[in-house]
Structures are given as structure tokens and as C-alpha cells.
């Protein structure tokens, strides 16, 4: 929900501007044509909302360019962070940076928290599947956030990488900025398995290009609720930001945030009320596997966002026995990733064994 904003007032230069205040502010503020540039205003504290109405020479430009141009003093990186965090809305709807603006649209920009200097190096054990001077592969445990973000500044993979590779062994890529040292791609917090890291800028770009061009081969194992109708299938449904819950994604067609998404799956074993799937995403959208499997009526077990249940026990699966939880996080594991080495161009395959909690769940489902 956007905080209450001031009345809109005209400003020269193809935009109408207003400023809204965070909920704990004492009084509303306004910007008039004679006021100082917006960027110089003392009201631009985190949580402040700028209301910008598209007009004149602002029509037809990209959303990110528009915000940088008309919210004076705000850096491109600050605007990019805000858009990525759903902190920019157009006519009340979260939008992509590339959206071309039309006359009369109202852009609401929530000023984000300033970027932090980066995670502190933390002595956290890591399971390295591979490591050399230019790249590494880590078996990320469930429950570990990949990089710092609001509410998760400690215990991250990025902080652990700084301890193991930057502080001791010599370096990590800085392409992702200070909060994402070495981070090339991401896994959700409660998804375990293979994740690739880069140790210098050249390696980072070479690895990132492969993800962008979809030449990597990613395989996941998922235990889902219910059984898919088909033994193998392809789910080809666009994914965008959920219309009401910002932390969720959803199957959405013909929306400004919608992106093509393709997921293939194969049933490895059926258990009646659950099934083990091998999943190969062909695109890399946020929460893609989780959204797609939920869309066919088989959400990932213990996926609180998309199944509505964050804990699975025997009774839920129709099994007898003790009522202790069998799983308390989504049953999704990045089991393998194939990618070309950035220096030698040799095809590398990294594999991470199933973690103990999912192995235990499968043993119970198999009657062992």
C-alpha cells in the first residue's frame, strides 16, 4: 500500500510531481514549480513516495530512464534497486524497468533504503563442489539467503564467500555490486543445491552470458503434493508479479510484468499423495518451478507461499505414525548444473546430493 501523498502540483519539464510521506512522518510536503529540484529536498528519506505524472517530452521513454530523469539526485543504481524490489508502480501496478510510458500515467516511486557497503565476512562452513582461481560451485544449504537484503543481513552465502574466498583466498567478482560479491545467479532461501560463483569480473561476465543465453543445463528434484496427470510434460505459461501479494509470483498473461517461462518435468516416482519429479527449467524466472508446479495442481511440498502449508507431517500425507514434522521447508533441490568453464570453455557438470531432510521424507513416503 502506498503512503498518503500530497496533492499533485505542476512542474515544468514534462512531468507533474508530488511527494508523499512515510507513515510516521509529521506532515505532508509538496513540490511546486518554484521549489528546489526534487533531489535536493530533505523529504527524500527512505519510504517517501514521489508521484510523477507522465506528460510532454516524458511520453515514450522507459520507466527507469523517466524516474532517473525526473527524481533529481537519485542514482541509476538506486532506481534499479527500487524497481527490482517492486518499489516503483505505474497506475498502481508494479512494472518492469523497460516499460514505455504513455501520457497520463502516474508513476509512484518509493525511495529505497540506501545501499549498504556489503556483507561482513562470516566464518560459516561451505560445501564447495568445485573451486579454482576463477570460479566455484557451492552446495547451498536450505535456509541460507544468497545475498543480503532487507531483514537478512547476516548468515548469507555472500558473507560466507567473503570469509572463504575474499578474506583468505584472494578475491571475488564485484560485478554484482558490494552486497553481491561473486554472486552470478540465485537460489531461493529454502531451496538447496548447486550455485555458481565468480572470482573475477571476466569470469563473472562469461558465466552470466551463459545464463542469459540459456546454454546452461539446470536440473532440480522436487517432491510435490499430489501426482501430475502426465509422466512427463512441458509447462509453458508466462509469469509475472502477483496482483495482490508482492512476495509472490503468478501465472499472468498480457501484463507489464509478464515474462515467458518454460519448465519441463518428469515423474521419477509416484507415492499416491505425493510424487518425486525431475524438473528442468528452460528459463529462469523468479519462483518459476514453484509457480509452474502449483499451476498444474501439484505445488512443491511445504512451500508455504504456493501450497499454503509450510510444514508437512505423516497425517497430511495419509500415513500413520508419529505426528512430528517430516519437512519444514519447500522440498526443492538444485541437483545439478552444467556450464562451460569461463577460462577453458570445458563443459563442467556439478552435482549436489539430496540433503538429509528430503532423503528422510522420501524414505517415509516409500514405507521404509
* Catalytic site positions: 188
Q: What is the DSSP letter of 261?
A: -
Answer whether 108's CB lies under 8 Å from 89's CB: yes
Give the three-class secondary structure for 52.
strand
Please report the beta strands in 24-80, taking only residues with DSSP state E, as ranges in sequence order. 49-54
Region of residue 182 (left: phi > 0; alpha: psi -120 to 50; beta: else): left
Distance CA 195, CA 350 (A): 9
For CA atoms 72, 78, 81, 85, give the dihedral sign.
negative
Distance CA 250, CA 233 (A): 20
3-class DSSP string for 319-331: CCCCCCCCECCCC
Phi, psi of 113 (to 5 degrees): -65, 145
User: Closest Cα partner for 204 from 178, 185, 179?
Assistant: 185
Phi, psi of 314 (to 5 degrees): -65, -40
Angle subtended by helix axes 63-70 and 76-84, to nearest 10: 130
**Strand 217-225, strand 332-340: pairing:** antiparallel
Answer whether 302's CB lies under 8 Å from 245's CB: no
Amino acid at each position: 500500500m502506498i503512503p498518503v501523498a500530497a496533492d499533485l502540483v505542476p512542474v515544468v519539464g514534462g512531468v507533474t510531481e508530488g511527494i508523499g510521506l512515510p507513515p510516521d512522518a509529521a506532515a505532508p510536503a509538496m513540490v511546486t514549480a518554484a521549489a528546489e529540484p526534487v533531489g535536493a529536498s530533505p523529504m527524500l528519506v527512505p519510504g517517501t513516495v514521489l508521484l510523477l505524472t507522465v506528460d510532454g517530452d516524458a511520453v515514450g521513454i522507459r520507466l527507469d530512464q523517466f524516474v532517473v530523469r525526473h527524481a533529481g539526485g537519485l542514482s541509476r543504481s538506486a532506481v534499479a534497486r527500487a524497481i527490482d524490489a517492486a518499489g516503483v508502480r505505474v497506475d498502481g501496478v508494479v512494472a518492469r524497468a523497460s516499460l514505455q510510458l504513455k501520457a497520463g500515467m502516474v508513476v509512484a516511486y518509493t525511495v529505497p533504503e540506501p545501499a549498504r557497503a556489503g556483507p561482513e565476512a562470516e566464518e560459516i562452513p561451505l560445501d564447495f563442489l568445485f573451486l579454482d582461481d576463477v570460479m566455484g560451485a557451492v552446495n547451498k544449504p536450505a535456509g541460507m539467503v544468497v545475498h543480503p537484503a532487507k531483514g537478512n543481513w547476516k548468515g548469507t552465502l555472500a558473507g560466507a564467500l567473503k570469509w572463504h574466498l575474499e578474506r583468505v583466498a584472494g578475491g571475488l567478482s564485484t560485478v554484482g555490486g558490494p552486497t553481491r560479491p561473486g554472486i552470478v545467479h540465485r537460489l531461493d532461501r529454502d531451496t538447496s543445491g548447486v550455485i555458481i560463483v565468480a572470482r573475477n569480473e571476466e569470469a563473472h561476465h562469461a558465466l552470466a552470458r551463459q545464463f542469459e543465453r540459456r546454454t546452461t543445463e539446470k536440473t532440480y528434484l522436487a517432491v510435490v503434493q499430489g501426482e501430475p496427470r502426465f509422466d512427463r510434460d512441458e509447462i509453458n505459461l508466462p509469469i509475472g508479479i502477483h496482483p495482490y501479494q508482492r512476495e509472490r509470483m503468478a501465472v499472468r498473461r498480457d501484463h507489464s510484468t509478464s515474462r515467458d517461462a518454460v519448465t519441463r518435468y518428469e515423474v521419477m516416482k509416484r507415492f499416491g499423495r505425493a510424487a518425486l519429479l525431475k524438473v528442468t527449467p528452460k528459463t529462469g524466472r523468479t519462483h518459476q518451478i514453484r509457480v509452474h508446479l502449483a499451476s498444474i495442481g501439484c505445488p512443491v511440498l511445504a512451500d508455504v507461499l504456493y501450497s499454503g502449508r509450510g510444514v508437512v507431517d505423516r497425517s497430511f500425507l495419509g500415513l500413520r505414525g508419529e505426528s512430528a514434522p517430516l519437512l519444514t521447508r519447500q522440498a526443492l533441490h538444485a541437483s545439478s548444473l552444467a556450464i562451460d568453464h569461463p577460462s577453458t570453455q570445458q563443459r563442467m557438470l556439478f552435482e549436489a546430493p539430496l540433503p538429509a531432510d528430503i532423503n528422510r521424507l522420501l524414505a517415509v513416503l516409500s514405507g521404509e
